[in-house]
Homo-oligomer: A and B are copies of this chain.
Amino acid sequence: MKSAFHHGDLADGLLQAASSLIAERASSEFSLRELALSLGVSHAAAYRHFRDKRALLGELATRGFIALDEALATAANGAGPTAPERLTAMTLAYIDFACANAGAYRILFHPDLCERGDFPALTQAAMAAFARLEQEVAAGQATGSLKAELPAAIIASALWSAVHGYATLFLDRQIDHDGAAGDRPPADKTVLIKLLIDSVRR
């Protein structure tokens, strides 16, 4: 037992509690005080472990990007060998991850975290997930199954834009892919992905 007299590992406890909260309410908003209360600890205890609320958000986002990266890796590993197959699986997994973890996904792009450089680990985790996508594109270009006129990074960011847009529009209830709701446009992630992959195929 390495530490902790009163709680155990409050830093991790806070992160866990925050994860649960944002998962159950599908929103990225919570207060430090309710977090502390739910752990039976005083409202200021968190400040022994995080400089700010932003710092906690940053750590949460870092873990989120790592989880997202793992989901992408799993999808790619479970798919066939060709780049179009693998990219189809990855983009689909991306959208599914976002929809299944609404609160967590929103935190990845929390406005308070958009100043790059404040949280190096976060930047690194985000870049790692992107690099996985970019590398898959580059591999496809090398094999000849994808267009090679454009840099892999530019193609990858175009793919990212599309799936990110779909995910956020869906989470914000601006589009719908379920039953017929007349008050918002219909959408289809399969169609989006098919159009995307076809547009980069050789």
Bound-state Cα–Cα, A164 to B187, Å: 14
Q: B169 and A160: CB pair below 8 A?
A: yes
A97 beta carbon closer than 8 Å to chain B: no
Instruction: Say how many copies of this protein the assembly contains.
Output: 2
Determine how close the nearest CB of chain B comes to the CB of A20; give it in whole angstroms: 19
Determine how close the nearest CB of chain B comes to the CB of A7; give it in whole angstroms: 31
The A interface is mostly helix, strand or loop, or mixed, namely helix
The number of chain A residues with a CB under 8 A from chain B is 51
- Which chain B residue shows the least CB distance to A123? B183
- Which chain B residue shows the least CB distance to A194? B199
Interface string of A71-83 (1 = CB under 8 A from B): 0000000000000
A134 beta carbon closer than 8 Å to chain B: yes
Q: A192 and B158: CB pair below 8 A?
A: yes
Interface string of A161-201 (1 = CB under 8 A from B): 11111111101111100000001111110011001101110
Determine how close the nearest CB of chain B comes to the CB of A62; give it in whole angstroms: 14
Listed A/B pairs (12) with beta-carbon separation below 8 Å: A28-B111, A114-B174, A123-B183, A155-B191, A157-B187, A160-B165, A160-B169, A161-B163, A164-B165, A165-B165, A165-B168, A168-B168
Q: Shortest 6 CB-CB distances between A and B: which pairs?
A: A165-B165, A199-B199, A161-B165, A161-B166, A164-B165, A157-B187
